[in-house]
Structure 1
Amino acid sequence: MTQGQRIAELRKSKKMSQSELSKAIHVSPSTIGMWETDNRAIKDDDLVKLADLFNVTTDYLLGRTDNRHEDILAAAHLDEDINKMSPEQRRAIYDFIEFQKQKIDEDNKKD
């Protein structure tokens, strides 16, 4: 899927016209049309506005990933530091990871 197709799909999923999208991010309606047909490159600041408006990552808009939302990763060097952590600290890390997974799942269900 091209960048333009992704923008068009996201716009339509929000039931927005090209004109409404153009007003929301302060560009001309013809610019939206050219983006959606891949006839004009998207400026970085406009890409960020689109990502914020549609609650997706810029990588998704650029076609670098098919995941609309950033996967939040929590990393801990448990292999090296496990003996230095209390059971409460380990539990807090695991709880945080589970919380983030649930948050991502909930966000994905909204789309």
Structure 2
Amino acid sequence: MNTGTRLAYLRNKKGMSQPQLAEKLSVSQSTIAMWESNKRKISAEDIVRLADLFAVTTDYLLGRQPKDDGLLVAAHMDDDLTDEQKKEIEEYIEFKKAQYRKQHEKD
């Protein structure tokens, strides 16, 4: 998934139109459309503003995936999860990491 696709996904997830997002960022709607279609690069400053607005990391917007010993872990968790759900996900990630390490120790 590229940056434009991630932006469109986050915007739609928030139930926000392109004009609404444009107004929040003080840019034109056509700028949002061009970002989402990857016809215009998003400035570093705007990436930070978007990350803050959508409560995600800049790495997530840029498509950078955190890794642990070669294992893709997670990019972010949605804010609407309960603490119990977040804990469950974190425990599962730790379980998968342990499985991965155990499997690769044999190699």
* Common topology (TM > 0.5): yes
Once residues 28 and 84 of structure 2 are traced to their aligned partners in structure 1, the CA distance between those partners, rounded to angstroms, is 35
SS of alignment partner, residue 40 of structure 2: coil
The number of aligned residues is: 75
> For residue 44 of structure 2, what is the aligned residue in structure 1?
44
> For residue 63 of structure 2, what is the aligned residue in structure 1?
63
4+ runs of 1 displaced by more than 4 Å? none
Q: Deviations over 1:10-67 (max 9, x none)?
A: 0000000000000111111100000000000000111011000000000000000250
> For residue 33 of structure 2, what is the aligned residue in structure 1?
33
Q: Which amino acid aligns with 1:55?
A: A
Once residues 103 and 46 of structure 1 are traced to their aligned partners in structure 2, the CA distance between those partners, rounded to angstroms, is 33
Once residues 75 and 84 of structure 2 are traced to their aligned partners in structure 1, the CA distance between those partners, rounded to angstroms, is 14
Structure 1 residue 68 displacement after superposition: 2.5
Once residues 103 and 40 of structure 1 are traced to their aligned partners in structure 2, the CA distance between those partners, rounded to angstroms, is 40
> For residue 96 of structure 2, what is the aligned residue in structure 1?
none
Gaps of 5+ in 1: 70-101
TM-score under structure 1 length normalisation: 0.61
Residue identity (%): 49
Q: Which amino acid aligns with 2:64?
A: R
Once residues 76 and 52 of structure 2 are traced to their aligned partners in structure 1, the CA distance between those partners, rounded to angstroms, is 12
RMSD: 2.2
Q: Which amino acid aligns with 2:86?
A: D
